[in-house]
Amino acid sequence: MALLDIKDLHATVDDGDAGPKPILKGISLTINPGEVHAVMGPNGAGKSTLSNVISGRPGYTVTGGSVTYDGVDLLEMEADARARAGLFLAFQYPVEIPGVATGTFLKTAINARRKANGEPEIEALDFLKLMKANAKKLGVADDMLKRPVNVGFSGGEKKRAEVLQMAMLEPRLCLLDETDSGLDIDALKVVADGVNALRAPDRGMLVITHYQRLLDYIVPDVVHVLADGRIVKSGDKSLALELESKGYAEFTGAAA
């Protein structure tokens, strides 16, 4: 069974007084377990809308099509239920939450998922071990874990913290929204290593990016080009390189 099956997805963003604005105009995409797909596209193509709609962010309305995750209708579920079912969104702009310690937050998230699965809460010691082991791999300093969620983190630290959360929550489907934005090359490598370590036969990934650079490190099985709310071309990893040399002009022109 496909892990994620998107069929002819149409969605609008609620644009205040201007009313709903169509962003996704018929997207179809299938990710099987073990596959890594990349979605590339110019600014305004609908890349972030796609990840927001899949993860259940308020402010968007699905006007047509379907999103099926592991055989269930994802669009019927609230954002928190999707996450507990195994979906993980690595945010383009991780949110700062003053007053909530990173450790407390992670433990609450893990236990929410365990509770939903009828499992007991994680033992405090097991949690600490798990967190420290993952933090070490990603070069996340101990004092960062004591600080409030994302507060005072640099851009690179925020992205590493996102991958740390991803590793600890063990999702089945990872959505990475512009995870490369704001990263220098060293930080990019650390983050990519963290992501690659999570590649597994039963796990799928959707990597959303504007630039090909990230895909040198997280090598995708399939690359899709998104332009004006539609997937205009799909291919293997060589498509990313082609885009890097030619740019998006061809597709934006075609879509217009």
Q: Quote the CA–CA distance of 87 and 54 in Å, as a whole number.
A: 9
Q: Which residues in 35-74 contact another protein (CB under 8 A)?
A: 55-58
Position 98 contacts another protein (CB under 8 A): yes
Q: Quote the CA–CA distance of 100 and 104 in Å, as a whole number.
A: 7
Binding flags for another protein, 162-201, as an x/- string (CB under 8 A)? ---x---x--------------------------------
Q: Quote the CA–CA distance of 42 and 228 in Å, as a whole number.
A: 9
Nearer to another protein, 89 or 227 (CB): 89
Position 113 contacts another protein (CB under 8 A): yes
Q: Which residues pair with 176 in a beta bridge?
A: 90, 207
Q: How many residues at the interface with another protein, by CB under 8 A?
A: 28
Residue range at the interface with another protein (CB under 8 A); choices 30-38, 81-89, 135-143, 204-212 = 81-89
CB of 112 to another protein, least distance (A): 5
Q: Which residues in 217-246 contact another protein (CB under 8 A)?
A: none
Position 105 contacts another protein (CB under 8 A): yes
CB of 150 to another protein, least distance (A): 9
The letter for the amino acid at 28 is: S
Residue range at the interface with another protein (CB under 8 A); choices 105-113, 121-129, 180-188, 226-234 = 105-113
Position 99 contacts another protein (CB under 8 A): yes
Pick from 204, 215, 238: which is nearest to 36 by CA?
Answer: 204
Residue range at the interface with another protein (CB under 8 A); choices 80-88, 139-147, 179-187, 204-212 = 80-88
Q: Quote the CA–CA distance of 187 and 208 in Å, as a whole number.
A: 18
- List Cβ neighbours of 139 (8 Å cut-off, separation of 6 or more): 160, 190
Triad 45, 33, 114: Cα angle to 5°: 100
3-state SS of 135-196 is HHHCCCCHHHHHCEECCCCCHHHHHHHHHHHHHHHCCCEEEEECCCCCCCHHHHHHHHHHHH
Position 94 contacts another protein (CB under 8 A): yes
Report strand pairing: 204-209 vs 36-40: parallel
Position 146 contacts another protein (CB under 8 A): no
Instruction: Catalog residues that contact another protein under the rule CB under 8 A.
Output: 55-58, 78-80, 83-84, 89, 91, 94-100, 105, 108-109, 112-113, 116, 148-149, 165, 169
